[in-house]
A = this chain, B = another copy of it.
Amino acid sequence: MTTAIDVWGDCFTIAKWQAVVAEALESGGSEPIVNINPNDAREFDAIFLGGGAAGRFGAAYLRALGGRVLIIDRWPFLGGSCPHQACVPHHLFSDCAAQLMLERTFSGQLWFQQIEDKVVSIKSIIEFFRCGRVGPHAVMNYQSKEQLGLEFVLNAAFSIIDPHTVQVGDCKFHAKNLVLALGAKPVLSDIPGSTLKGVFNSQSLVENLDFEPGNTIIVIGGGKSAIEYGCFFNATGRRTLVVARHQVMPMLKDVESRAYAILMMEEQGMEFLENAELMTIQGDSQGKVKSVSIKTSDGIINVDTDFVFMGLGEQANSEQIAQILGLETGERGFIKVNRHMQTSIPNVYAVGDVTGPPMEMFKARKEGVCAAKNIMGQVSEYKAADYPDFMHTHYEVCWLGLSEEEARQRHANVKIMKLPPDNPNGFDVGLPAGDRMMLYLMAKPRMSGFHKLIIDGDTRKILGATHIGYGAKDGFQYLNYLIKKGLTMDDLAEMDELFISPSYFIQLCRLRAGDPHFKDM
């Protein structure tokens, strides 16, 4: 390439990567960052277009299998949208929401500041994120280059010539296979007023917010992104109105768990309009949002606001490329693949968000691995199924397996273990407890979470679980794996709990395990 930063051979420290990535992002410069081994004469087994979750893991796996692989990405870092615009900012904002809920609950008590009426700056938190996000980028570049030995061309505008050829600047790269790991982006609204200043989605929020939102925020959507960002906005001290076409949080199917999650949000002041629809967004003379009209079952309501957040789901980053290659695509541009991750065109694979939901990290990464295996001659199939799931409200909400209602449809003898137990005082009781819950436990016990385990009373196998609280996410990964292998309540009862454990599944099972005809708990 005529102009490029060639990093091959030099060990770039993480600090140096941080400087390089920051510079490239700030300047918007188009100089590609090239890490290609000039001493390797082999043809590339694959070019991965996109070095995000799917591309980077697929490439790493292909390299681990002994193949040669090149990643090409438009961004100056590996890792994709996750650390730049998606998972990482979302987790930061959800941490802020959890922290602010705690501070507001204990405002003026113990050492806590008076914060009841304080409105926290969203703009400052966004700017704080923009400054910090190159840190993880730098680690992933370091890991990819120094530890995984990946070859890449970053910060690169690329064009596809054919299923074996990709061009960057004046340079053409050839490979036996092409893997499209192009990711996804938020669906844009076509509602009148959607292009006014003050309408954001998760991506544009972190990139473009340049004013302090006023005291009322409208969130459109009832899914993960809408709820997660809505809780953050709410926690900053703003009126937050969530407008959902159907239900909010439909993915959490267990009725009782969902009810607790929603109740806790409502108690924080979140407002939900279900079965409602945003009709128009009205602007002022400067082209800024000034109000919205919402159709509800009780008629149309108008709300003044300068900030509308669209949580409408994702669409594929596939347009031009799918057209050039003549790929079959489906709804929202998602590229159609079989279980080998093959597209409709020979030697072209697609992996990750670009192939459609679930838009989850493990799914993207495992699709990348699946493509890598097939390319290297190990026949492999993958289809995401029976996975654990989570989202944030002000809490971490985790679930896996069947809801109680689903379990009762399929099994005759379903048993439930939960905390708080069914009791006349409802949630106003002093358990569960756990890390990050202890202040609530002592003074606001109804806020200290909800745990539920769903068991087949006949086989004693665990059928499902939910946890609303903090600190159970890691455990749900392993628990899901165990449950797919047939974990029983007796197995759980035999484990060694780390008390006070964030979830109480082990101990609840142990209390009942002696009884062949155990009861609910």
Contacts and interface: CB of A to CB of B under 8 A. Distances in A.
A309 to B, nearest CB: 19
A289 interface: no
- Greatest chain B CB density within 10 A among A109, A425, A519 is at A425
Contacts of A488: none
Nearest to A59: B511
A432 to B, nearest CB: 9
A501 interface: yes
A164 interface: no
Contacts of A131: 442-443
A503 B478 contact: no
A255 interface: no
Task: Tell me how many chains of this kind the complex includes.
Answer: 2
Interface string A413-434: 0000000110111001111011
Given A61-B510, A138-B429, A477-B496, A92 B369 contact: no
B500 A477 contact: no
Contact of A95 (B137, B425, B435): B435
Contact of A362 (B132, B137, B441, B496): B496
A52 B411 CA distance: 36
A51 interface: no
A439 B498 contact: no
Contacts of A166: none
Contacts of A514: 60-65, 369, 372-373
The bracket for how many chain A residues form the interface is 35 or more
Nearest to A504: B474
A438 interface: yes
Nearest to A439: B95
A338 interface: no
A519 B372 CA distance: 19
A365 interface: yes
A139 B472 contact: no
Contact of A135 (B396, B429, B435, B495): B429
Interface string A7-18: 000010111001
B474 A132 contact: no
Interface string A432-458: 011111110111010000000000000
B500 A474 contact: no
A92 B433 CA distance: 10
A362 B507 CA distance: 9
A503 B425 CA distance: 36
A258 interface: no
Contacts of A473: 435, 471, 498, 501-502
Nearest to A148: B511
Contact of A87 (B443, B499, B515): B499
Interface of A: 11, 13-15, 18, 57, 60-66, 82, 87-88, 91-92, 94-96, 98-100, 102-103, 109-111, 113, 115, 118, 120-121, 124-125, 128-129, 131-140, 142-143, 146-148, 360-363, 365-366, 369, 372-373, 384, 387-390, 396, 398, 420-421, 423-425, 428-431, 433-439, 441-443, 445, 470-482, 491, 495-503, 506-507, 510-515, 518-519, 521
Given A372-B514, A436-B436, 15 more contacts: A57-B510, A60-B512, A61-B511, A64-B511, A82-B499, A87-B499, A94-B435, A110-B121, A132-B442, A135-B442, A142-B429, A361-B499, A362-B499, A389-B498, A396-B435
11 contacts: A13-B425, A60-B512, A61-B510, A82-B499, A88-B441, A98-B435, A110-B120, A436-B470, A473-B498, A478-B479, A480-B495
